[in-house]
Structure 1
Amino acid sequence: MKVFVSVAILAWASPSFANEIILSDTSFTSEITEENQNAKEPGGIWLLGTRYGKEGSVYLDMDDDQGFTPVFAYLGKHLYLKGLELGYQVNPMGSSNNIAFSIEALTHEVDFDDSNNTNLDLLEDRDAALMVSLIYQTGPIEAVLSQDISGKHDGFSLGLGIGNNYEIWQFELELGANFVYQDKRLSNHLYGVSQAESDLTSGNIRAYDASETRIVQLNVLLNYALTENSTLSFEIENSHHLGLDESPIIEQERIISTSISYLYLF
């Protein structure tokens, strides 16, 4: 019996990994055979592992974020926990159609101290927000509406994604495409510069009021079933950020992320 679990949605993200909304981080798309799911009920399924990733940054003179992060999740019939996200889905896990509600901590955090740019270091760090989400999934299509409830930026995002899985012997290939809309308040939190911050840099970084932004992502994930209870995954993702070209703290709009993960199910 093969067990495939999409590792990308389960990893605890480091602070800079959470700079942008990634739909796959908030989606609930695990591929576990019905036989295994039933065998684990009513206690649910626990997952533990590690992930080594490298991700570029859109910010000025910011080094690539790379390193190990732990992977931890609980997948129950209705309740699930993925790192710092706690959620409840109306229909049982694995249903072709579902509605879920979740709350997630430590999102949209930016630490400008990680930049090699002395002016960017003077800007205020963007504090992490607490987001609540409404998730609707039908077949391979998923929509996610997320809203800040912590008062850090009071913004919202809307994501739409589609993905398909292809099993080839001991491998599973996942192909996905995501589109994320970030409203003006969330975009300003991530990419804007206040006049007070500009003054701290003596005007070297000009004040900027961000407008709405969008993210288009293409994702390829290859899973290999080592045993009935463990999976090795390789992932590459291309993220194109739209609407950032005028922000003075942005260096590039397109970034590439890669990772390798090991996951054990019990």
Structure 2
Amino acid sequence: MQISSDEFNAYMKPSTAFERNKHMKHLTHALLSALVISFAPISADAQTGGDETTVDLGGAVLTRPAYVGSDQYQTNLLPYIGFENLYGFDMRGLAISSDVIEMGTGKGPGKWSLEAGPRVSFDFGRDSSDSPTLAGLDDIDSSLLLGGFTRATYGIIGFDLAVGQDVIGGHDGFVADASVGTRYPGQGWFVAPIVTLSWANQNFTQDIYGISQAQTATSALDQFNTKSGFHQVSATLLGGIDLDEDWSLTGLISYREALGDYRDSPIIQAEDGTAAGVFATVGIARRFNF
């Protein structure tokens, strides 16, 4: 989470080396944003305090399903740039946000905090050429989501809610991701288990899981209509280690599974389809302070 409390910094990072190395959180956000997962308040390291601006540069290797519902995997090398406190804005991965509300007694055992503000994020689309199963379906264009976030802590538990509405005609949907988890710090390393539940309206679920009547005439798939609802749950284990005062290595493995009637989607039931997917990534980043 975006943590500004020096007291919580000390609690979460008992070692001197870990206290010095605060850039690991931004690589964490880059990897999670690439997976389209909102885990910011749970897995992140404490942010720098004051008016300091930081920039993080690095890269990551990401292995993921070719698209939602595919059992075929692809591996990509991803560059990363992120910043914190640049004119009041933070950029992590594919999202830009700003803390407008900050309140609470602090962060750590026996304390609570609440942060909220606007958020803009970007989602890549889906091409019908990604698989023979998708042949004849419409491409899903990229989406720009305008929305907001709420991040909270109670003791050592973190909560996050991120919402967004597509405004550029990609999936045209409204999405919401709710996450809960905690973080275990060590001497220059950490691990963080996280669980996320994803909800979306019909515009999103129909584009991702559904087959319209018109598409049945151009594809080999049967008609499948969806509704708004909780469509996916994911469990993630995130970890990181300091390499020195400036560099850190972060990795994660995430298991996702479609829920309820969405599992009956012809895309998921196809020969190369699956209701489950595993995401794995490892990355390295360097922090610059200004």
| TM-score (structure 2 length as normaliser) | 0.77
Secondary structure at the residue paired with 1:51? strand
> Quick check: 1:113 aligned with 2:129?
yes
Does the aligned pair in 2 maintain the 1:62–1:114 contact within 8 Å?
Answer: no
Secondary structure at the residue paired with 2:226? coil
Q: CA–CA distance in 2 between the matches of 1:91 and 1:228?
A: 31
Does the aligned pair in 2 maintain the 1:192–1:247 contact within 8 Å?
Answer: yes
Secondary structure at the residue paired with 1:135? strand
1:58-89 CA-partner distances (Å, limit 9, x unpaired): 65666202121111100117311224322211
Q: CA–CA distance in 1 between the matches of 2:83 and 2:42?
A: 12
CA-based RMSD of the aligned residues comes to 2.6
> Which amino acid in structure 2 is aligned with residue 220 of structure 1?
L
Other-structure match for 1:125: 139
Other-structure match for 1:255: 277
- Cα offset, 1:147, TM superposition: 1.4
> Quick check: 1:23 aligned with 2:32?
no
Other-structure match for 2:30: 10
1:69-218 counterparts in 2 under 5 A? 69-76=78-85, 78-91=88-101, 96-105=113-122, 107=123, 109-115=125-131, 117=132, 119-139=133-153, 140-201=158-219, 204-212=220-228, 213-218=230-235
From the superposition, tell whether residues 13 and 146 of structure 1 become closer, same or farther in structure 2 (CA, over 3 Å): closer
- Cα offset, 1:56, TM superposition: 2.5
> Quick check: 1:32 aligned with 2:46?
yes
Q: CA–CA distance in 1 between the matches of 2:69 and 2:187?
A: 44
| TM-score (structure 1 length as normaliser) | 0.83
Gaps of 5+ in 2: 1-16, 108-112
Other-structure match for 2:56: 47
1:120-165 CA-partner distances (Å, limit 9, x unpaired): 2222111111101210111111112221222333321222111211
> Which amino acid in structure 1 is aligned with residue 79 of structure 2?
P
Secondary structure at the residue paired with 2:267? coil
Does the aligned pair in 1 maintain the 2:42–2:159 contact within 8 Å?
Answer: no
1:223-262 counterparts in 2 under 5 A? 223-242=240-259, 243-250=261-268, 251-262=273-284
Secondary structure at the residue paired with 1:10? helix
Q: CA–CA distance in 1 between the matches of 2:129 and 2:64?
A: 17
Over the matched positions of the two proteins, sequence identity in percent amounts to: 17
Secondary structure at the residue paired with 1:227? coil
Q: CA–CA distance in 2 between the matches of 1:86 and 1:192?
A: 30
> Which amino acid in structure 1 is aligned with residue 92 of structure 2?
K
- Cα offset, 1:32, TM superposition: 3.1
Q: CA–CA distance in 2 between the matches of 1:214 and 1:91?
A: 30
Other-structure match for 2:5: none
Does the aligned pair in 2 maintain the 1:160–1:180 contact within 8 Å?
Answer: yes
- Cα offset, 1:167, TM superposition: 1.2
From the superposition, tell whether residues 257 and 207 of structure 1 become closer, same or farther in structure 2 (CA, over 3 Å): same
Q: CA–CA distance in 2 between the matches of 1:187 and 1:176?
A: 23
> Which amino acid in structure 2 is aligned with residue 209 of structure 1?
N
Does the aligned pair in 1 maintain the 2:147–2:163 contact within 8 Å?
Answer: yes
Q: CA–CA distance in 2 between the matches of 1:193 and 1:264?
A: 44
Secondary structure at the residue paired with 1:200? coil
Secondary structure at the residue paired with 1:188? helix
> Which amino acid in structure 1 is aligned with residue 281 of structure 2?
S
Q: CA–CA distance in 2 between the matches of 1:27 and 1:109?
A: 26
Gaps of 5+ in 1: none
